[in-house]
Structure 1
């Protein structure tokens, strides 16, 4: 397998993240995909990714806890899940231009961005671990809060799709996702009104009405989110 080097230096990475990297060997590992010719089992980013995921969750959770003193556990969990998701981490990788620094085998050279999403997300988490182990918690906290700054500032006003928000909230309580049932369909075919009930294990059902089944399902999900205090009235 061909050995591919990054197109940017670690010095350039330090400039981009405004941080002097204390443990360059570990950072090299954080930026090395398992397909790279020199990557032995312990010399790629996979173990670091495991730790970085936890460090990221801690720092973001801590910040959300401080930013939203009135938010309940369910609301905080929804915000956290959105901020540390694979999509969010991959976007941070793109924001920092991390693909320029990743060492990998030739088969990844022409892979589409969509198919490398998980790799980009994993490298962000691995880099977080490398900074944490080399530079310490305070410096990795500064890196995370700087990189996630816009997303954290937008978290207060972000409005989630109610069905997605409800599913994520239910996931914190149960492995059984909410299901939606049509209770009634009224009106003429060209202008129907749907009444839909959402059924959740251990939670009182919610109902909603709408001009389409999708809108009725969203209204039913919203009713549960508001009733259970996950969403405040002003969010709906």
Structure 2
């Protein structure tokens, strides 16, 4: 089986040459496009999630040999969550190669966080089945890159901290409004405004809504700290 031009390009971005190209085809096939002769990526997604988890667990232990389990757990969760997988998928333009049904394609499926995250996990499984654990590990470590070393910042949940701040003062939870979305589908930029009932607010931008919301919450917390000091 020969890969199409777009999947050959994806294979190069992954840094893995497939001996069994059908695995990559399955990894990018959403259930909306599956059929009698075409399997979807759901089973690969299940496996890829576990492979990613093992790679990240090993990487975190190697990165910080003195970290306790209580410190490692939130870092691990930040690295393997669906949002992070989707961010990595956007960086390698995985959405451009997704095989979607017409309805899913018309509703912007190539940009959907859940679909991108699932497909990224499926691709990890495809590399694992094609080349073994070492091949999958090499790819994941390269694609996740600096995230592993800087995960401490991502592991701090600013939205939860801001909500707790508001609740402690008898306020309802903060709201998060999307101010704008710019950029191409594979590299969007979201501007989000975090706002409290008392009118205090802060804006931030990032490559995904989740990251922008976290950044806005962090900015608002910093502003509240400056006001209090």
TM-score, length of structure 2 as denominator length: 0.65
In the other structure, the counterpart of 2:8 is 11
In the other structure, the counterpart of 2:70 is 74
Contact 2:100 2:109 in 1 (8 A): no
Contact 1:93 1:121 in 2 (8 A): yes
Which whole-Å CA distance do the structure 1 matches of 2:58 and 2:119 have between them? Answer: 22
Matched, 1:60 2:86: no
Contact 1:16 1:96 in 2 (8 A): yes
Whose radius of gyration is greater, 1 or 2? 1
Which whole-Å CA distance do the structure 1 matches of 2:169 and 2:12 have between them? Answer: 59
Give the CA RMSD over aligned residues: 3.3
More helix by share: 2
Matched, 1:140 2:136: yes
Residue 70 of structure 1 and its aligned partner are, at CA, apart by 1.0
Which whole-Å CA distance do the structure 2 matches of 1:32 and 1:123 have between them? Answer: 8
Name which of 18, 22, 25 aligns with 1:21. 18
TM-score, length of structure 1 as denominator length: 0.63
Task: List gaps (5 residues or longer) in structure 2.
Answer: 171-219
Task: List gaps (5 residues or longer) in structure 1.
Answer: 1-5, 166-177, 185-213, 220-236
Three-state SS of the structure 1 residue aligned to 2:149 is: helix
Closer, same or farther: CA 70–94 of 1 in aligned 2, 3 Å: same
Matched, 1:33 2:35: no
Which whole-Å CA distance do the structure 2 matches of 1:134 and 1:7 have between them? Answer: 18
